[in-house]
Amino acid sequence: MATKQAVVKQVSNGVTFMAKGDSGHWVNMDGPADFGGSNAASRPKELILFALGGCTGSDVVAILRKKRVPVQDFEMNLTATQADEHPQVFTAIHVEYIFYGTGINPADVERAIELSTTKYCAVSAMLKASVALTHSYKIEPPKVAA
């Protein structure tokens, strides 16, 4: 079984932190001024959404590329609902996958999302025990260069 490690360091006397994992890349985290932060970086809970989007997005892109699906551009919108009471955990997260291009078969998109959400995305697997995860997708025409 593999072991992963991370170090999280306080940057100032407030709630500004830097974190580094096995990849060796630093990520900044901060809070709002009224919580002792300097509002200079993403909040820790935002990073959970980033991680989910990055994980499932990587899977979906890799699967569609392997199937030679002609995706010109791709993005996701993630919407989280959080509890009103502390610790204000996320209770639901919806991922909207948006694909741009022509000739994209909806069945290929649906299968890629299914494989990511049920088999490959470790972040989805960790969250689904405590958060209601849902998804939808849209296929749009290619973006026009401005």
| Residue 84 pLDDT level (bands cut at 50, 70, 90) | very high
Going from N- to C-terminal start, the domains of the chain cover: 6-35, 44-140
Closest CA to 33 of 25, 21, 41: 41
Q: What pLDDT is attached to residue 146? A: 66
pLDDT tens digits along 101-143: 999 999 999 999 999 999 999 999 999 999 999 999 999 999 8
Cβ(138)–Cβ(113) below 8 Å: no
Closest CA to 52 of 22, 113, 95, 90: 95
Kindly report the pTM of this predicted structure: 0.92
Structural domain 44-140, CATH architecture: 2-Layer Sandwich (3.30)
